[in-house]
Structure 1
Amino acid sequence: MVIPTCDYSKGLSSFPLFMVQFTRFKCGGVCMGIATHHHVNDGSACAYFVNSWTRIARGLELLVLPVHERSAIPQFSTYEPTQVKFRHLEYEPSIPPTFSLGKMCTSMESSFTLSKSLINALKQEATPKQVEISNLSTFEIVAAHVWRTTCKVRGLAPHQDAKLYIPIDGRPRLKNPNPPKGYYGNLIFFAACIAKSRDITCNPLWYAATKIKEAIQRTKDEEYLKSALNFLETFPKDDPMVVLSGPESITSPNLMINSWAKLPFCETDFGWGNPIFGGTGGVRYEGLSFLTQNMDGGFSLNINLFKDDMSLFEKCLYDFKIVSSM
């Protein structure tokens, strides 16, 4: 199924906005693949669309009706370009790659399982005896472990800056009023933090986790998000692609960790029962990664790194004490 394209914005009319492919297996199983354009929706909107579709397929009414108009979100209609009150590291240029861009073709994707016991061990390491940081979230700790491990296996120089991007869902953060529950659009903001490679790899895990927490905490301030919207409004209106991030913006020494842990794809049921697996259809670029939550409380990590770095990354990911001793 392909939803027809439209002239949504300059340069995008040739892209399908939503594609679905079903594959039926001889065993009776079914796989559904989805591809969407992020100018049109984000992960939460995509999950809402699919789960609404499944309710209709089962003869049920929609619990929440869709809302497509951007005007339903007052924050989108009150731009004040002069009111950029904060520094927006997330929209500043990425750190230039530390290698020739031709090397990007030597990257590979791998999947790893982070068990609940491993995550509990990480939590213990991320809680220093002399400092009380018990309010670190599971995501902040796991993301810090991935960031620290990646910095180490990439062989970054001690003084090299490393930048981390984290996509953030703006739905629970935009208030007075909150966006409609059925809003079908893109409300993704970004959190970002930057640190010297030596500080990330040589300090205890709580250091990187605290940096991540501070970056995420900034996006919980609605004034910060409004400032971000005002900042984006300062870009040329005739070039919507200017703020998009290409593959060179997330590759070494940059990294992006995208959490799908809270996306409700586990509720997708066409009448055949809930899915037994949900995940990404591929991680295309070096430096891009996705975290999804497993049924047992652990996580799955899909990440793309250079082939020369992947074997050491796997070793350090599971035996995380190696990182602090290397």
Structure 2
Amino acid sequence: MTLFGFHCSQEQIAPSQLLADVKHAEQAGFDAAMSSDHFMPWSENQGHSGFTLSWLGAALAQTTFPIGSVCAPGQRYHPALIAQATATLGEMFPERYWVALGAGQNMNEHVTADKWLPLEQRRDRLEEAVDIIRRLHQGEWISRHSGYVEVEDAYLYDRPAQGVPLLATCITPESARRAAGWAEGMITLNQPGGAHRDTLKAYRDAGGRGSAFLQVHLSWADTYKQAVETARHQWSANVFGPPLDQDLATPAHFDTAAGEVSAETVLDAVWTSAEPDQHVEWLSAAAEDFDAVYIHHVGQHQKPFIDTFGEKVLPQLKGT
């Protein structure tokens, strides 16, 4: 049975409000949650970027359902510290936390002032980071490691009994095929023309194991006009594919690029409707291929969305 989760958008909502929102989402009937991880928002219109790893401790402590997060180890985060942080969350909240690892985006990683590497080198660095994290999670003492990152005498004294699933973030079939060699599951996002299914197929065809999750960007409001306005205001800077979305450095860069984005392009990326039944149709179709669907209403005010979907959408999706 597919789980339907609530996406916690750190780049759009202040951490204190987002904590209230995720608690509300659990009460409204969502099965799980997932969180983004940003140092900067995509756009000045979004205007937030709470520290995800701090927020996760509070969110897991004040809810009972599973919560996962994305993370890009290797530049902004040293993989040994990510191993420690994720192991601590896993030890405190057994079998409730997973992490999806990716190669990162310049907008979040450039703050270290380290060189932003070409894509293939970033993928190599990610696989190196995954290996370090997994070895530390398994209780290995790493006396010395040299590569894209350096490790010396690293060991985790507190580890979860059941481990923390290390998933992959995959947007393209190419990234999915490569991730199939190391990931314990994968997560992708809805793309125009159903391209997310091509990404999932590439992962499975390459031998990818574990659960497959889908993050869906959607916009709902009382009227279609309001839903469209919300999507355009909040998500016009988020519709770019590689390499633009990976290489631009600041919200100002994304906002400048978004000036040329049409309403049609935004609506291709964001499932937009004022009708709950339309969202049921879209999400039901998505659930046919994925083990969990994480629903991201791209607006900054989540309560009306949570209440409406809790009353009119989730019961239909769950067959009740």
| TM-score interval (norm. to shorter) | under 0.3
TM-score normalised over the length of structure 1: 0.25
Pair member with larger Rg? 1
TM-score normalised over the length of structure 2: 0.25
